[in-house]
């Protein structure tokens, strides 16, 4: 029985996405791809690193050292604070983009992330960039499965049918 179950499980197609960008548009693309894949019954792993950590951060300041605190101020805030990769213009671009998306009834980033979680997409944080940027595990959303290293992502990428670096 178990063997059959395993075989069935193994047949599920897999996707692995490394998300290094924390830009509104890039995160949007990443979650659209992840939710589309999960909705097609794929097993999806997302690995958030560096600026991408914003996607799984709670709202709040981070950092212990002076520089960690500076980084916490500059990169503070959660997924709602993501700026577009172009025309960030001190938050104006973000406001504009969100309005345009709302006008077209497009899902917001927090909605997309929730959809991803509901569809079983697995979210991981990159331990090394969390160390460097002084972001403790507690400041990530509770749904984050684990904080792992690059080798973990490479393993996931190797067993996946589709891989992206965003």
Residues of this chain that bind its own copies (CB under 8 A): 13, 18, 20, 25-26, 28-29, 32-33, 35-37, 39-40, 42, 49-51, 65, 67-68, 70-71, 74, 85-87, 96-97, 99-101, 103-104, 106, 128, 131-134, 149-151, 153-155, 157-158, 160-166
CA distance 99 to 94: 9
What are the distances in angstroms from CA 18 to CA 45, 97, 149, 158?
A: 9, 24, 12, 13
Output the smallest distance, CB 23 to its own copies, in A.
9
Distance between the two ends of the chain, CA-based, in angstroms?
39
Sign of CA dihedral 75, 78, 84, 88: negative
Question: DSSP character for 150?
Answer: H
132: left (phi over 0), alpha (psi -120 to 50) or beta: alpha
Structure tokens at 102: 């709302």
- Closest residue by Cα to residue 163 from 56, 44, 40, 15: 15
Least CB distance to its own copies at residue 31 (A): 9
Smallest separation, CB 85 to its own copies (Å): 8
Phi, psi of 89, rounded to the nearest 5 degrees: 40, 55
**CB of residue 3 to its own copies, shortest distance in Å:** 24
Rg over alpha carbons for the chain, rounded to the nearest Å, is: 17
Least distance to its own copies, CB of residue 111, Å: 14
Nearer to its own copies, 4 or 42 (CB): 42
Which of residues 20 and 117 has its CB atom nearest to its own copies in the complex? 20
Which CB, 117 or 128, lies closer to its own copies?
128
Measured from the CB atom, is 67 or 145 closer to its own copies?
A: 67
């Amino acid at each position: 029985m178990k063997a059959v179950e395993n075989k069935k499980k193994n047949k599920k197609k897999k996707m692995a996405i490394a998300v290094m960008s924390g830009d509104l548009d890039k995160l949007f693309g990443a979650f659209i791809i992840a939710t589309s894949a999960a909705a097609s019954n794929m097993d999806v792993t997302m690995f958030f690193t560096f600026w991408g950590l914003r996607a799984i951060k709670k709202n709040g300041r981070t950092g212990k050292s002076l520089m960690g605190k500076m980084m916490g101020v500059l990169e503070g805030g959660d997924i709602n604070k993501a700026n577009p990769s172009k025309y960030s213009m001190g938050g104006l671009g973000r406001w504009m983009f969100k309005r345009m998306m709302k006008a077209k009834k497009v899902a917001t980033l927090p909605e997309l992330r929730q959809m991803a979680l509901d569809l079983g997409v697995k979210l991981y944080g990159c331990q090394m960039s969390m160390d460097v940027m002084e972001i403790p595990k507690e400041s990530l959303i509770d749904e984050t499965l684990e904080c792992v290293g690059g080798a973990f992502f490479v393993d996931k990428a190797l067993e996946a049918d589709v891989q992206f670096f965003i």
